[in-house]
Homo-oligomer: A and B are copies of this chain.
């Protein structure tokens, strides 16, 4: 396998774990040194304990499974380092809050050690509307293809 196909398979396995809310399988993707910038506060989560708790909180916000569609993904690798950037359309049924699909931007940074890739940094966000300082939810006409 090339590095790029390894990272592609890694990210597809991670997406399956997210959608199935399989916390142990999901956490196996992360380095012990993970620094995670999430959509929601605080500024960052560091280490697997904080990241695990935050994923469980995320899982708990949905009635059933989480539906994620990946769009416009690019993967770049050399040696034992890789990064990937993508958009996610998140359309699971939430227990409260916004009841519609939400576009999220994601950057994933990976290292390979002893032949195994793991995520050292992850960054997820929603852009804000600079006039209202609220979350920006694109109208149909402004959505990515």
Contact = CB atoms under 8 A, between A and B. Distances in A.
Interface residues of A, number: 44
Nearest to A120: B76
A121 interface: yes
Copies of this chain, whole number: 2
A83 to B, nearest CB: 4
A136 B74 contact: no
Interface stretch (A21-29, A62-70, A102-110): A102-110
Contacts of A42: 127, 136, 138, 142
Contacts of A51: none
A138 B42 CA distance: 8
Interface string A106-145: 0101010000000011010111111001111010001010
Contact of A87 (B38, B44, B103, B138): B44
B38 A111 contact: no
A121 B85 contact: yes
A45 to B, nearest CB: 10
A43 B138 contact: yes
Nearest to A122: B107
A41 B127 CA distance: 5
9 contacts: A41-B130, A43-B144, A74-B120, A76-B111, A77-B81, A85-B121, A123-B123, A133-B134, A133-B135
